[in-house]
């Protein structure tokens, strides 16, 4: 059995600007097909607009308010909202109140699969 406590996971800032705590991924569990992380986006610091060639993502909003933009369509998000981000979809999330959400990626998140508008792919 693999059981990872969120409180035991060290936070880090990703290239897209969110603060992540990996709950289950290839670095801390025998994960094969997906990853799960908690992300935090503060007011005034939206993520960089980016996409993933391979990963499909789910965001599940736990706390805060903001706006989710996917391929030019923007919607307000708040606690209890689940968001599907298909592979290849440009996306960005902006907080009007600090956002905390779960992020699930399949296949598992990797820096090599993050492409930022105007830049080459993110590297770890």
Task: Map out the domains of the chain as residue ranges.
Answer: 11-116
Q: Which fold is adopted by the domain 11-116? A: Jelly Rolls (2.60.120)
For the stretch 93-106, pLDDT in tens is 999 999 999 999 99
Task: Give percent of the chain above pLDDT 70.
Answer: 94
CA distance 16 to 6: 21
For the stretch 50-87, pLDDT in tens is 999 999 999 999 999 999 999 999 999 999 999 999 99
Question: 17-26: which pairs have CB atoms within 8 A and are 24 or more residues apart?
Answer: 17/41, 17/45, 17/46, 17/47, 17/48, 18/47, 18/93, 20/103, 22/109, 25/108, 25/109, 26/108, 26/110
What's the predicted TM-score (pTM) here?
0.91
- Whether residue 120 is predicted with pLDDT greater than 80 in this model: the reply is no
């Amino acid at each position: 059995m693999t059981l990872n406590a969120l409180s035991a996971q060290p936070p880090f800032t990703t290239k897209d600007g969110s603060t992540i705590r990996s709950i289950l991924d290839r670095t801390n569990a025998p994960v094969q097909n997906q990853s799960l992380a908690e992300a935090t986006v503060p007011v005034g610091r939206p993520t960089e607009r980016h996409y993933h060639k391979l990963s499909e993502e789910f965001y599940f909003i736990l706390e805060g308010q903001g706006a989710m933009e996917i391929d030019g369509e923007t919607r307000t998000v708040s606690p209890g909202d689940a968001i599907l981000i298909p592979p290849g979809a440009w996306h960005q999330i902006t907080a009007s109140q600090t956002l905390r959400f779960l992020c699930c990626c399949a296949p598992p998140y990797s820096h090599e699969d993050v492409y930022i508008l105007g830049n080459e792919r993110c590297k770890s």
